[in-house]
Amino acid sequence: MIKNIDMVNALIARNSMKLVTAPAPSDEELAKALQAAVAAPDHGNLTPWRFKIIRGEGIQQFADLAFRIRQESDEPFTEDKLAASKAWLSEVPLIIALGCKMDYSNTKIPEDERIIATGCAVMNLMNALHLMGYGTFWSTGIATYFEEFQTAIGFDPLEYRFMGFLAVGTPKMPIPQKNRKSYTEFLID
């Protein structure tokens, strides 16, 4: 049995880090983190999680598409929000788009359980990257909920539930620590 309190303490200290820059994880590190992701609990062994790796010029294409769709929508960003979001993504060295494959032929296992399993896989991925010293930020902003965007990046809404994307890289500053509530506040008698 593995007992490592240092890893538990590292997980307790985990926090989202939006401001990341190069370098991103190496291919070997990313492969190990993705392998940790697919170790998530999965009722019925449906393996619903899907990941799309976006690097290099692909990030600019991803950003251009997302911002174009957002700005053409009924809810465009303000000029300040648009500029800040573009500046943020311009420094992100790795994006992992996240999806849940919806197998509608399987009526035994509820849709919610597939989404939960995918969320668990994403958390495993984030924790693995955190333990390797990288920062991650799970974004559901910009154009996540626009079907045109989902389809364009390969997550057809008839087949997948697009769940946003991870921005991954080296933290630009020490990861800030939150004052988290005690677990005792969430226990039910």
Q: Using 50, 70 and 90 to split pLDDT, how confident is the model at 183?
A: very high
Contact 94, 168 (CB under 8 A): yes
List the one residue out of 15, 5, 6 whose CA is nearest residue 179.
Answer: 15
Is residue 22, in this structure, part of any structural domain at all?
no
Report the CATH number that the domain containing residue 146 is assigned in CATH.
3.40.109.10
What mean pLDDT do residues 81-98 have? 97
Write down the pLDDT at residue 19: 96
- Is 85 annotated as contributing to ligand binding? no
Is 16 labeled as ligand-binding?
A: yes
Burial class (CB in 10 A: 0-12, 13-18, 19+), 27: exposed
**Residues near 34 by Cβ (< 8 Å), separated by ≥ 6?**
51, 125
Question: pLDDT category, 105, cuts 50, 70, 90?
Answer: confident
Residue 7 pLDDT greater than 80, yes or no: yes
Q: Is 130 annotated as a binding residue?
A: no
Whether 3 has a pLDDT exceeding 80, the answer reads no
Tell whether 14 is in a known binding site.
yes
Write out the two tokens for 19. Answer: 């401001």
pLDDT digits (tens, 9 = 90+) for 115-173: 999 999 999 999 999 999 999 999 999 999 999 999 999 999 999 999 999 999 999 99
Residue 84 inside a domain? The answer is yes
Q: Is residue 168 part of a domain?
A: yes
Q: Is the pLDDT score of 104 beyond 90? A: no
Q: What is the pLDDT of residue 87?
A: 97
Given a contact cutoff of 8 angstroms between Cβ atoms, the answer to whether 56 and 139 are in contact is: no
pTM of structure: 0.94
Q: Which secondary structure element, helix H or strand E, spans residue 49, and what is its range?
A: strand 49-55
Residue pLDDT, tens place only, 28-64: 999 999 999 999 999 899 999 999 999 999 999 999 9
Name 59's Cβ contacts closer than 8 Å, sequence gap at least 6: 89, 92, 93, 94, 95
Radius of gyration, CA atoms only, the chain = 18
The answer to whether the beta carbons of residues 136 and 24 sit under 8 Å apart is: no
Contact between 86 and 59 under an 8 Å Cβ cutoff? The reply is no
- Give the total number of structural domains in the chain: 1
9 labelled binding-site residue: no
Query: Rounded to the nearest 10 degrees, what angle do helices 27-37 and 111-131 cross at?
Result: 140
Q: Is 139 annotated as a binding residue?
A: yes
Answer yes or no: is 139 within a domain. Answer: yes
Q: Residue 56 domain-assigned? A: yes
Structural domain of residue 36, as residue ranges?
28-173
43 falls within a domain: yes
Residue 96 falls inside a structural domain: yes
| Residue 128 within a domain | yes
**Residue whose pair of structure tokens reads 């990288």 in the numeric block:** 134
The reported pLDDT for the residue numbered 1 is 65
